[in-house]
Structure 1
Amino acid sequence: MTESETGAEAETAASADTDTETEATGTRRPSVELDESDTVVTVLEDAEAGDVVTDSELEVTEAVPFGHKVALTAHDPGDEVRKYGEVIGVATEPIEPGEWVHTHNCDSARGKAEGRR
């Protein structure tokens, strides 16, 4: 085995280790959080469990489609869900940080007819 072949094998092994670390920590996905009172962020790409959003290294706990919300904070049923500094809904069940926030766990506060809450 030549010295260059040994170097190439070492490079391949180092690359494999890096790939494993990337899988373990997930991929960073861009997200939008406009106000410090926001309790969710909006992902700007499809995200998978283990992907990371926000500067605080929040891990997504399940698949979240592009344009949907991820909880920044824990929500109990009845808690306000805030996006872009506005209340956009109310949690209908417990939501943990990193979980997808959508119609299965949040009732919209916008566009509701009076008394339909």
Structure 2
Amino acid sequence: MTTAFRIHAQDNVATLLGDGEGVVTLIGGDTVALNEPVAMGHKVALADIAAGEAVVKFGIAIGTASIAIRAGDWVHLHNCTSRFDERSGGFDIVTGAAKDMAYD
């Protein structure tokens, strides 16, 4: 069974401590059913997040939902834009590497 943790009570996402499929247990006992496989270290939505609403982690808005996100969805660059870097929409959704810059 995969475990995830919510950092702050106001967070609407949790971070997986292992690769997850099916139901994930949050530290503290709550559970969330994943709508798709989610890799270790990635975020899962704990509640529905409407397009344009804040994605909250650490008790602060870290991003904005670019499309509607359902509880149990993987939250990453394909459905969330960063509030810290306006280029976040141009990152590769798997690696996080910027598509507009070559790293040698």
TM category (shorter chain) comes to: 0.7 to 0.9
Length, aligned pairs only: 85
* Aligned-partner residue type, residue 93 of structure 1: I
1:1-117 alignment to 2 at 5 Å? Answer: 27=1, 29-48=2-21, 50-54=22-26, 55-112=29-86
Gaps in structure 2 of 5+ consecutive residues: 88-104
Deviation at 1:52, TM superposition (A): 1.9
Q: Which has the higher helix share?
A: 1
Q: Could you list the structure 1 runs, at least 4 aligned residues long, displaced by more than 4 angstroms after superposition.
A: none
- Give the structure-1-normalised TM-score: 0.68
- Give the structure-2-normalised TM-score: 0.75
Q: Which has the higher strand share?
A: 2
Gaps in structure 1 of 5+ consecutive residues: 1-26
Deviation at 1:84, TM superposition (A): 1.4
- Structure 1 vs Structure 2 CA RMSD: 1.3
Q: Percent identity?
A: 38
